Amino acid sequence: MSDEKYKKAAFIITKAGVLPTPVNKTLIDILKLQLTEDELDFINAFKRKTSQTMEQLKKSSKMPEAQILSFVKGLAKKGFIFNQPSSKGVMVYRLLPLLMVGAFEYLYMKKIEYNEMDKKLAKMFLDYFEETRDFIQGNYDQVLPIFEKMLPLDRTMPILADTVQGDEINLSVNEEIEVPEEVILPTQKVEELIEKFDDISVGHCFCRHHRDLLGKPCKHTDLRENCFTFGKSARYIAEQGFGRSISKEEALDIMKKSEDDGLVHKAFHPHSDISKVETSICNCCKDCCGTLEWWRMGIVALINSTNFLSQIDPDLCSGCGTCVEKCPVDAIELNDSDIAVVNAEYCFGCGVCAHFCPENAITLLEGMRKVYIPPPRLR
């Protein structure tokens, strides 16, 4: 009976996310370490609707308000319930998925102990990722249309600070990339984004934190506390202990250190709608970023919104290969003449290549576009 209850809750939790993931023994074992059986009964109230007001929850859970609030408090601390008021001031309780973005991310945003239980759980998550890969690959043709219909999971904000040499990255307009009139261009500069918010929280990079527990530390940076949330998401993070509130000045300082290490700013918007205000920014590297790693593993498509595209001047390129090494999506290679060339279908305009180019041979062309790369077929 216990396993059946966890299985039932697992289906409800997976349906709350955007990524097709399997319900299997590993997932159930993870939930057993995270949730009590009493909490499973409350999660069952979200089987038809993942976001509910208190009045709706009273009907769906058949519980009194005091009991609901007790469950909400406990599950919010575990990253399974988001409990912040809507833009209209109405308190809404939203069930979060395990992944993208949910309990896994919030668990590893906070500082945790490096004990045997934490390491065991980290290994269980890795096992689940690999089993999800097998599930996706085994149902590739059926899953691919789901990815094709998905909106961009995140938006790249390029490094627009000085390059290593101290010169500004040259931004020129690509006439072939046109921005539709109905598209509202979101904030492109990190400095301007930070200035928009009074509430800012920072937590650990959950991707690097998870890899640390697996004994696979990041090769690109020693930074860990550089995962940002804004507005009501920032208040949630601070209230639940997943991170801490910080000033705009500290946020900009951490962002600058992230850029110096060649990390990519990836912004997230509610429901992937770039016309809505940003909720968070990750600072991602090539080997740890979950979406990049899962794409390479064959778990998820790389779906990104960007306003930039790298362009390399062949007359200035020395063929040093720095951009090839730094590109987080392997969108650059050296041709037969040892000149770097960009694969426009893969480039998501992060500006890392331009930031590190010793010859200032790379510019960013401006124009909103969507990058879509299906997961590799491994079978």
CA angle 84/231/368 to nearest 5° reads 120
The pair of three-digit structure tokens given for residue 219, joined into one six-digit string: 């090769």
Helix (H, G, I), strand (E, B) or coil at 148: helix
Cβ neighbours around 145 below 10 Å, total: 9
Helices (H), the chain: 2-15, 25-34, 37-43, 54-61, 65-77, 103-109, 116-138, 140-149, 190-195, 206-213, 231-240, 248-260, 290-297, 322-326, 352-356
Rounded Cα distance between 322 and 113, Å, is: 37
Peptide bond into 101 cis (omega under 30): yes
Adjacent-strand bridge partners of 52: 93
Give me the sign of the Cα torsion angle 356, 261, 171, 348. positive
* Under 8 Å between Cβ of 233 and 199: no
pLDDT at residue 160, rounded to an integer: 55
> What is the spatial distance between Cα 293 and Cα 7, in angstroms, rounded to a whole number?
27
- One-letter amino acid at 105 equals E
Check if the beta carbon of residue 363 is closer than 8 Å to that of residue 340: no
In one letter, which amino acid is 259?
Answer: E
How much is the pLDDT for 1? 60
Q: In the prediction, which pLDDT does 112 show?
A: 81
Task: From first to last of the 379 residues of the chain, give the pLDDT tens digit.
Answer: 689 999 999 999 999 998 899 999 999 999 999 999 999 999 999 999 999 999 999 999 999 999 999 999 999 999 999 999 987 888 999 999 999 899 999 999 998 888 899 999 999 999 999 999 999 999 999 999 999 999 999 999 987 543 323 333 343 333 344 444 444 557 788 899 999 999 999 999 999 999 999 999 999 999 999 999 999 999 999 999 999 999 999 999 999 999 999 899 999 999 888 889 999 999 999 889 999 999 999 999 999 999 999 999 999 999 999 999 999 999 999 999 999 999 999 999 999 999 999 999 999 998 888 999 999 999 8
Token match 């065991």: residue? Answer: 120
Please list, in sequence order, all residues whose beta carbon lies within 8 angstroms of the beta carbon of residue 181, skipping any fewer than 6 positions away.
none
pTM of the shown model: 0.89
Pairing verdict, β 171-173 and 362-373: parallel
- Assess if CATH 3.90.400.10 describes domain 2-138: no
pLDDT given for residue 183 in this prediction: 44
- How far is Cα 282 from Cα 228, in angstroms, rounded to an integer? 6
- Integer Cα distance of 245 and 321 in angstroms: 40
CB within 8 A of 13, min separation 6: which ones? 31, 43, 80, 95, 97, 98, 102, 103
Q: Where are the domains of the chain?
A: 2-138, 152-373
Q: Which residues lie across from 154 on neighbouring strands? A: 304
Please state, in angstroms and as integers, the Cα–Cα distance from residue 98 to each residue in 165, 192, 257, following that order.
Answer: 43, 32, 30
φ/ψ of residue 311, rounded to 5: -135, 135
Task: List C-alpha distances in Å: 147 to 132, 143, 152, 344.
Answer: 15, 7, 10, 20
Helix/strand/coil percentages in the chain, nearest 5: 40, 20, 40
- The CA dihedral of 88, 92, 95, 99, to the nearest 10 degrees, is 30
